[in-house]
Chain A
């Protein structure tokens, strides 16, 4: 490419600042996770337990006010091995991004799986949170460094199907 062609555009950087808020429901979740607790919310109609909660059950269109303490273990609902780096994240590829379904929850969230060979990871595998040292805890789900296998027997993925209460 010649120089003239390289200069056929100019960069115009847009910078906007926002005081982003997570929402009251998620704020309560983040305050709990800062203390090492995982707190989900339960739908008063269908009984679905949401984590992290956003304050509603979209299934029924109602607020989820009841809070439920959840364990820091569950299973892998599905996963992918990521082979490309993520902008702004120091983690080295390949790494595993998995949909973690905590026991007692009815939706999953994405997190990392470590402390296992990539080829041994399976859907249905039981996993447990590995926390950062307590001194590093903030209001972030990243207080959990990653999840690791517990060594228990895999669960049948069909058992993750939601049955409305």
Chain B
């Protein structure tokens, strides 16, 4: 099988409110930056794929607006997923494997500041049975956190640990949002958003965009690119029926790990798409690492650009491998209520 590697990644500085920037103005800087870091031009790209969501942008066809940021003359091979851009990466990966492309550009963008994110995300729910009850996304996350507490696999101490680690790690991430690092007492007194989640446990509303370039081994040699190999990548979705799921587990992630057959203890860096503190705890348990070890970038708790944060987990993992501070990395992307849909990518450097 063809080897495919990530050769570049770039992310805008994440903002709580990107002001008047439109889709084009969000996307163009990251695309130009990732091209610059790889010494490629837009004419080298033979497949482009993006991830975005109309409801976040508040207009149908947000990705069509976004496409004006890309060179499209002569016309390009291009597609779009109404998903996190981690899945745009997966689509690009399959396109390259099928021989359709050698070098692919992936980007994701999201602007959550203009609307009410919690309300908007409720529109993801079953419109017949669940949405009319209008639970918002934090309510549902609270449900999962409670299930974990009842099962004895989550404590407030662990949640606090996740927040402190994120806040600390975020200081080393130039693109992160600076978040509060509450004392234990402050945390316990924190305003409850949806029990047991306080405002500290939730990721900040974020605006931004990210871009990534992947290429075949041949293209890497031809253009002198230094790849981090996508050794394994896969994704899986769980049931939509929350009552049918065991919320103390993330079945898709466990299933994918089993398929990947990788030794978790040998992985140097893990970045996961965890939007709430209890998700950090849950995923760190599944990945068999400590709460302090997971998400060295700070993770979504210090910047959660909807439709890009999953790609960012992969991007941050790539960065650690590219600068040789790690040899192997595992990245996780998620979507849907209570981690319904999950993607894992196992990255490796040539030794």
Contacts and interface: CB of A to CB of B under 8 A. Distances in A.
A54 B65 contact: yes
What 7 A-B pairs have minimum CB-CB distances, sorted nearest first? A23-B22, A61-B71, A18-B58, A59-B73, A21-B20, A18-B114, A58-B68
A61 B31 contact: yes
Interface string B93-131: 000000000000000000001111001100100010000
Interface in A20-68: 20-27, 54-56, 58-63
Given A12-B127, A21-B22, A56-B68, A63 B28 contact: yes
Most central of A54, A56, A60 by chain B CB within 10 Å: A56
Most central of B19, B25, B28 by chain A CB within 10 Å: B25
A153 interface: no
B131 to A, nearest CB: 8
A62 B71 CA distance: 7
Nearest to A58: B68
Contact of A23 (B25, B70, B71): B25
Contact of B21 (A12, A18, A21, A63): A21
B72 A23 contact: no
B22 A22 contact: yes
A27 B113 CA distance: 18
Given A16-B58, A17-B116, A61-B42, A23 B21 contact: yes
Interface of B: 19-25, 28, 31, 42, 55, 58-59, 65, 67-73, 113-116, 119-120, 123, 127, 132
Contacts of A5: none
A65 to B, nearest CB: 12
B338 to A, nearest CB: 22
Contacts, number: 75
B114 A20 contact: yes
A16 B119 contact: yes
Contacts of A14: 123
A18 B28 CA distance: 23
Given A14-B123, A17-B115, A17-B116, A56 B24 contact: yes
Contacts of A62: 71
A146 to B, nearest CB: 26
22 contacts: A16-B116, A17-B116, A21-B19, A22-B20, A23-B20, A23-B21, A23-B22, A23-B23, A24-B22, A54-B24, A54-B65, A55-B22, A56-B24, A56-B28, A56-B69, A58-B67, A58-B69, A58-B71, A59-B71, A60-B73, A61-B69, A63-B28
Contacts of A20: 58-59, 114
A24 B127 contact: no
A38 B23 CA distance: 23
Contacts of B21: 21, 23-24
Given A17-B116, A21-B114, A25-B25, A58 B73 contact: yes
Given A16-B115, A24-B25, A59 B20 contact: no
Most central of A17, A26, A61, A62 by chain B CB within 10 Å: A61
